[in-house]
Amino acid sequence: MDTSTGLYNRNFWERIKTDIDLYPTTHNFSLIIIDIDNLKAINDAFGHLTGDRVIEIVGQAIKSNIREGRDVGIRYGGDEFIILLSNQSPHVTEKVIERIRKDIDRRALNENLNIKFSSGIAYNKSVADLEEMIKKADESLYRENEIKKAQKQQHSRMYYLIKQIGEVWDELDEKESKGDNLLTSEDILELGKRLDKLIEEYIENL
């Protein structure tokens, strides 16, 4: 057992791989990988004791939202967790992840923390090839992380465009309010073109 979370540890995972009889059922099997997104940032900002508490919270949420005796929660290592669900459809598996996410949010809020995680899922009718299952779940996790990176980059770009649009508007207002005699029709046209281009790019990124 992992003493920090009350979940099984990686040694138990290795035993399952070599002896699937340890797992209670061998059909309609789902494997979930959970990886904490911002543990390093929390460690850097608040220290490793808080980081350890984050791992505990995630482990507790996992344990509270899986079925005792039928499902298995494992702390695979560091900030990565594996969940084995039996007799669960993909739709139900997604619901389990959502319950865990909400539980983590609730526990984190009570301690003024913000914990984010990514997840990957794989399905099979049996647990005969766990290595292949974890490979597929890893690929699913990677895709989710790539989507989050793209969304973050897009949000950064949108913020930049909004900032630039505001600066151009401010420049126009300032020159008009001052009655700047040096502001020619060419200057106004150039500022207008810049503004139009920024607005067009912003709309394209919506």
DSSP assignment, residue 179? T
Catalytic residue among 2, 71, 79, 103: 79
Alpha helical stretches, state H, 84-129: 90-110
Residue 79's identity, in one-letter code, is D
Instruction: Report whether 137 contacts 31 (CB < 8 A).
Output: yes
Q: What is the pLDDT of residue 177?
A: 63
Distance, in Å, from the CA atom of 150 to the CA atom of 147, rounded to the nearest integer, reads 5
Pick from 130, 126, 122, 16: which is nearest to 72 by CA?
A: 16
Q: What is the pLDDT of residue 153?
A: 65
Residue 8's identity, in one-letter code, is Y
In the block, tokens 């499902």 appear at 71
Extents of the domains making up the chain: 10-128, 154-204
pTM above 0.85, yes or no: no
Q: What are the DSSP calls for 50-72, one per residue?
A: HHHHHHHHHHHHHHHTS-TTT-E
Q: What is the pLDDT of residue 97?
A: 95
User: Tens place of pLDDT for every residue, the chain, 206 residues?
Assistant: 999 899 999 999 888 877 766 665 556 788 999 999 999 999 999 999 999 999 999 999 999 999 988 899 999 989 999 999 988 788 889 999 999 999 999 999 999 999 999 999 998 876 667 888 888 999 988 888 887 776 666 666 666 767 777 776 676 666 666 655 555 666 666 666 776 776 666 566 65
DSSP-assigned beta bridge partners for residue 77? 80
Is position 173 annotated as part of the catalytic site? no
Distance, in Å, from the CA atom of 204 to the CA atom of 28, rounded to the nearest integer, reads 43
| CATH class of the 10-128 domain in this structure | alpha beta
- Write out the H or E segment, with its range, that includes residue 124: strand 117-124
